[in-house]
Amino acid sequence: MNLFLLLFSSFLFCLVGYVSFIRMPADLRQSYVLFVCYRMFFFVIQSSFFYFIYKNELDTFFYHDALHELFAGFIHAPSDIVLFVQGKYSELHITDELKVYLDRETRVAFFIKVLFPFFLISAGNYYLMGAWLTLLGTLCFMPFLSLNKKSEMFSIWFFVLLIPSFTIWTVGILKEAFVIPVLFLAFFIFQKNTKTKEKDLLSIVFFIVLILLAWYVKYYLVALFFIICIIYFIHSNVTFSILSIVLSSVLLACALFGLGYLHPALKWDVFPEVIYIGYNLTCTNFVHSTPCIPFDLDMTWASIIQNFPKAFLYAFLSPFPWQIHNSTSLLAAIESYVFLILFFVMLIRWGMNKTKVSRIELLGLLSIFIVGSLLILATPNLGSFSRYRILYLPIYAYIVIKHSGISGSGFLLWFDKYVKRHSN
């Protein structure tokens, strides 16, 4: 791409960022500036991390290279655009290798379609494209933060979204960097409509569009999102009683059963096979990375239950000291140990009646323990697990920070005052 297009894209990026700042509620503008700068800084760190450690041999660069190849084909054969949208990849003017890959990996193919407008608006530049997606993600997070802007929970949620591992995997050209912010925005729309008597039809349509976009990129994150929304809705609208517990359990069971009809991999009887396949694929594809955590799995629920205690320990106690082999694993270990300490402090404070953990938070922790253990069974590589665990990390971090007493610590008090002072 020529210099003029790069300059125009950069100007447009700054313009969108400025207009977003102007249209932002006055009490969120300073938080928005801090948040977007922080996330852009982590995009720079991520790019350096990918370049020096992984030599640009990751999915994010494959997406960009595939877009370049597709765009070159579109220039010589404009009719390929229609074929690409229709999913007729075998008829495109691209390499046979890319044709086969797009046919086989339907979620990657759909994500590349989602990325194509960003590729165009960034003039085909990798770093501009990553910056655009980072800005989009930031704008998706801001409405969620606005839900708590008048309460003391705002600073905690804001701090949670600044967690280094969460930030580094939700910026740049990654599936998680697109899907997770979109789901945060969808939750904002969900809560807004459940709290108001008059339903906004346009926002409901927008909610459906967001869910569909996220579903075709990472369906299991959307499945988890549905479960979170159901639990949240029950807790917010149903009075606690024996009858409500029974009805809530039935509703949740029906939801879990119904997910199997939305995607074959979510069926109850197929799920152990999905875990088994994920385990073997991870250990096969990442043979040059850290060794896989050994689990004795087969395609049954019995083997999952048998390996569950070991999976739980590795999911919430690792990386162990002997698993630290470079700077990234050291940072991952430090973050993991910090949350582990906060969790035990929370238990002590709860036992001493210094804090009250609600039913919904206890259910959330139980769900996180189950999801984390299943996740590490399917992805027993610690590098992969540290990336995929960000799907539940915000909720886990929110609960332990809220109840461990850290919200009353000197740092958090300073952070709370700083945010509120710059939000007025």
The DSSP call for residue 318 is P
- Rounded to 5 degrees, φ, ψ at 207 are -60, -45
pLDDT value of position 89: 92
Question: Would you put residue 104 in left (φ > 0), alpha (ψ -120 to 50) or beta?
Answer: alpha
Distances (CA, A) of 150 to 331, 364, 414: 33, 24, 17
User: Domain boundaries in the chain?
Assistant: 1-175, 269-424
Nearest partner of 87 among 72, 75, 105, judged by Cα: 105
Say how far residue 238 (Cα) sits from the centre of its chain: 29
Query: How many Cβ atoms from other residues are within 10 Å of residue 293's Cβ?
Result: 23
Burial class (CB in 10 A: 0-12, 13-18, 19+), 3: exposed
| 61, pLDDT greater than 60 | yes
- 55-69: average pLDDT: 88
The DSSP call for residue 91 is G
User: What is the per-residue pLDDT across 131-143, written as a single tens digit (0 to 9) for each?
Assistant: 999 999 999 999 9
* Stretch among 116-120, 153-157, 303-307, 409-413 having the lowest mean pLDDT: 409-413
Nearest partner of 147 among 186, 179, 197, 198, judged by Cα: 186
pLDDT band at 280 (very low <50, low <70, confident <90, very high): confident
Widest Cα–Cα separation across the chain:
71
In angstroms, rounded to a whole number, what is the distance separating the alpha carbons of residues 313 and 184? 29
Q: Give Cβ neighbours of residue 270 (< 8 Å, ≥ 6 apart).
A: 260, 264
Looking up tokens 């270990």 gives: 333
Spell out a b/e string for 248-262, using b for 16 or more CB atoms within 10 Å of the CB, else e.
Answer: beeeeeeeeeebbee
